[in-house]
Amino acid sequence: MKKNLYLFFLSTSLIANQNQTNHYPKTLDLNDQIYRQVVVDREHGQYLGHPTTCLLEDGKTILCVYPKGHGRGEIVYKKSFDSGLTWSNRLPTPTNWKTSKEVPTLHRVVGPDGKKRIIMWSGLHPARLAVSEDEGKKWGPLNEIGDWGGIVVMGFVEPIDSKKGKYLAMFHDDGRFYTKNGKRTGFFTLFKTFSNDGGLTWNKPEEVFKSSDVHLCEPGLIRSPDGKKIAVLLRENSRMKNSHIIFSENEGKTWSYPKELPLSLTGDRHIGKYALDGRLFISFRCRSPQKLASTRTYEGDWVGWVGTWNDLVQGKNGQYSIRLKDNKKSYDCAYPGLELLPDGTFIVTTYGHWSFGQPPYILSVRLRLSELDMMAKK
């Protein structure tokens, strides 16, 4: 009897795993298309990681920040003035940017008075914020924003309620950094926080979801095409389940219960934007639940996904899965920046071990969905 039960559960598990892969979308590989790739920064013997980017209103100037180290480390700042084709030397930064403890993230914001700014977060405890009021020409120092902190602060900063100055942001913590002397608890908590003054101050974070069974983290937001709904894609850090997704229909006030995404969208640090034709492009690190890791060709690599909003809502696999670059060391890659140029070109920027035996460096890849469509026809 016990043997029969074991065989039953084994067979159903295999069927479930097979169903995850049978309808996997068409896979494309851009790894060897060197003409798409631009080195943003590389330093001999130095780990460079976790970049984020910000496209300015001129549609061609891109700001990029990243740490000298794995999350923690001095923040490096560079610019491109030609849509990511070339990059400046490293630019001067405020002295205390050297004290950053975690991945910096850039966000464009507008105050209630219409004042435009760029803000940069640096996480762990306490969460800190730097501000530029002149499109990144000059920056202020990192300043504490409250007696709280977290990991990947902020995963996103999104304008809400169609009101100037009002923003929603999210991050996560595992108990170590929300308070000053925190300790790992075995629970992962997803937090939300709101700003009413264009991102200069933020309210005390509120719990969105907390669990010891699924470890949901690194939120990435995508708004529905009509602007009425918000989806947040989430890494699952216990490596027992697929990535998850939650939805809000009231600008982040309340959220649906998390549900699993298809395997084609499972991984870490999702960031997505709509192409000019309305399709979605999402960039992330390919990382699967342990039981399914061997089923994915590009496990551990920097990947992308093309699909639609309805695919997210309905849990469908999407149109394409794309390898952007082969990562040569474990899973250490792909906290991406993603920008859409006015001509429909995506500039995707991240770090990874792109050369055997060498520290990771910062690389960008250029692509258009029309080019992927042509590849798919061959």
Closest C-alpha among 185, 135, 145, 186 to residue 169:
145
pLDDT score, position 3 = 38
The set of residues, in sequence order, having a beta carbon less than 8 Å from that of 202 and lying 6+ positions away, is 145, 146, 169, 193, 194, 195
Dihedral pair phi/psi, residue 16, rounded to 5°:
-60, -45
Question: What is the pLDDT tens value at each position of the chain, 378 positions in all?
Answer: 433 433 333 333 433 444 444 468 999 999 999 999 999 999 999 999 999 999 999 999 999 999 999 999 999 999 999 999 999 999 999 999 999 999 999 999 999 999 999 999 999 999 999 999 999 999 999 999 999 999 999 999 999 998 889 999 999 999 999 999 999 999 999 999 999 999 999 999 999 999 999 999 999 999 999 999 999 999 999 999 999 999 999 999 999 999 999 999 999 999 999 999 999 999 999 999 999 999 999 999 999 999 999 999 999 999 999 999 999 999 999 998 999 999 999 999 999 999 999 999 999 999 999 999 999 998
- Per-residue pLDDT reduced to its tens digit, 10-46: 333 433 444 444 468 999 999 999 999 999 999 999 9
Query: What is the value of pTM for the model shown?
Result: 0.93
Closest C-alpha among 248, 249, 281 to residue 265:
281
- Per-residue pLDDT reduced to its tens digit, 200-259: 999 999 999 999 999 999 999 999 999 999 999 999 999 999 999 999 999 999 999 999
Supply the CATH classification number for the domain 28-377.
Answer: 2.120.10.10
Tokens of 105: 């993230």
